[in-house]
Structure 1
Amino acid sequence: NGWFVLFTTVLIMGGGFFLLSLGRRLYNRPRPYQTWDIQPLIKKDSLGKSFPSRHVFSATVIAMLALLINPWLGGTMLFLAAILAILRVLGGVHYPSDVLAGYVIGILVGLLLYL
């Protein structure tokens, strides 16, 4: 039973990350520093693949897993994932819609862990 839980958790989280990455690659949205005349505060050399944010998705889906184990820890981690989202926008590497999508998709994929 423990192996099944581990397998399904890895499958859900890893599958979500894979599908999110595939969608990013296919959509290939330019990053803010490509379309605006700004120098990003976060050092980033890559072009495109801005939507949705994988950093925010990953932090959020991990927080959803933590929420299953310890609600206080999971809630704190969800809050920190939201802070990360704000920092990614302020850093100039994502649009608000990129991080919002990453957060929402992270919650939705995380909800699959509750099934």
Structure 2
Amino acid sequence: MNFDYRLFELINQFAGNNDIFDQMVSSFSKFGPILLGLVLVWLWFSKSGDKFENRKIVLFAVTITIFVLGVDKIIEMMYFRPRPFVDHAVNLLSTKSDLDPSFPSNHSAGAFAIAFSVFWRKRKIGSFLIIFAIFMALSRVFIGVHYPLDVIAGAIIAFIVTAIVYSQRRLLEPLYNRVILLFTKTNKLH
């Protein structure tokens, strides 16, 4: 028994004890990424703050999320770790998919990618999104589909990619500026 599995058991043992709480966590785990996407849509169309800056943050978040999920896929092709329910008796609150790798967690990586990318430019909302991403990661362990190391790896990958992408902002911002100006012009025509 390794530490990762012991920590998994510590969290997953609470699943299946309360139907209402189980449904809440399962729904959050399933629909949390959609909520994060809606935050980006809100930020794009928000009238508060600097609209141009808000839209640039959204473009950084989308870019970072695409790169993070790409890195995840490369890792999954090189290393396949079975889901916890394949090798262990778990309190499973999700449908089984034996073919999907457990490591790294795409849900966790995507959530942290958005959270870190927003935090880089907007600390207040970014802090809230980081807390959201932590709960997303914990929910994946709670429902029995990921080990703690899977979700931690997703967070680390997201942090590294965010740092790399923002370090190249001088190359990306001119492109983002053109996209935003094109959107603004097209939107004014309608």
Q: How does the TM-score come out when normalised to structure 2?
A: 0.52
The answer on 1:88 being equivalent to 2:88 is: no
Summarize deviations over 1:81-109 as a string: whole Å, max 9, x none. Answer: 11111110111000011011111111111
RMSD: 2.2
CA distance in 2, matches of 1:36, 1:84: 22
Corresponding residue for residue 12 of structure 2: none
Q: Which amino acid aligns with 2:79?
A: Y
CA contact (8 A) 2:80 2:102 kept: yes
* Farther-moved stretch of structure 1 (42-51 vs 105-114): 42-51
Report the secondary structure of 1:20's partner residue: helix
Structure that is richer in helix per residue: 2
Q: How many residues align?
A: 111
Normalising by structure 1, what TM-score? 0.82
Q: Does 1:73 align with 2:101?
A: no
Larger radius of gyration: 2
Counterpart Cα distance in 2 of 1:11 and 1:63: 13
Q: CA deviation at 1:11?
A: 4.8
What is the Cα deviation at residue 75 of structure 1? 0.8
Once residues 143 and 152 of structure 2 are traced to their aligned partners in structure 1, the CA distance between those partners, rounded to angstroms, is 15
For residues 1-115 of structure 1, the aligned pairs below 5 Å read 9=60, 11-115=63-167
Q: Percent identity?
A: 32
Return the alpha-carbon distance in structure 1 between the equivalents of residues 124 and 143 of structure 2.
Answer: 28
Q: Which runs of 5+ in 1 are unaligned?
A: none
Structure 2: runs of 5 or more not aligned: 1-52, 168-190
